[in-house]
Amino acid sequence: MTKTNKKRQVTRKPIKVSERREIVDKQTGEVVDEYVFKIEERDANFHKLWLWHLAAALDLIGNQKIKILSHILENTRQDNIFIGSQQAIADATETATQTVTITMKMLMVADIIKMQQRGVYMINPDVIFRGDAKKRMNILYEYHDTSKEKKNVRSKK
């Protein structure tokens, strides 16, 4: 069996933005044209999905792990947070708790979800997000900042 190394598409891209400004030199009083450059991250490589339809389609397939993922997607808040114990997920999806545990671990390893605390998960905004680009960027920074914090805590132990 051959293994393919598929590169994950980047969903944000640095863009150089420039603007021309007239600046007054405080020492000479001379007005000077100056260009200001800044780098901003913008969304790129996106497909628009209707989450409810996607979840319903996945549910039709019937795999227990897909049922669990569909439940998570349907019940994720606006801030990309899903709250639910593994037992609650198992009850809602009519699956075994062990299946939920395995699925949640797989989703964490694949960097689709991240556990913030027991029963509280954040969905990776690079994968799924509901809202506008500015709001997504704020959640993205939060998602990646908490990853760095956890790594720093582990390295100090």
Strands (E), the chain: 12-24, 31-43, 81-83, 113-117, 120-123
Give the domain CATH number at 105.
1.10.10.10
Domain co-membership, 23 together with 90:
no
Domain co-membership, 60 together with 108:
yes
Q: What is d(CA 92, CA 88) in angstroms, rounded to the nearest whole number? A: 6
Instruction: Tell me the residue type at 23.
Output: I
The mean pLDDT of the chain is: 76
| Residue 114 maps to a domain | yes
Q: What is the model's pLDDT at position 2?
A: 44
Least confident of 18-27, 91-100, 139-148: 139-148
Domain co-membership, 22 together with 78:
no
| pLDDT surpassing 50 at residue 1 | no
CA atoms within 13 A on the CB side of 29: 0
| Residue 2 maps to a domain | no
Q: Which domain holds residue 23?
A: 12-43
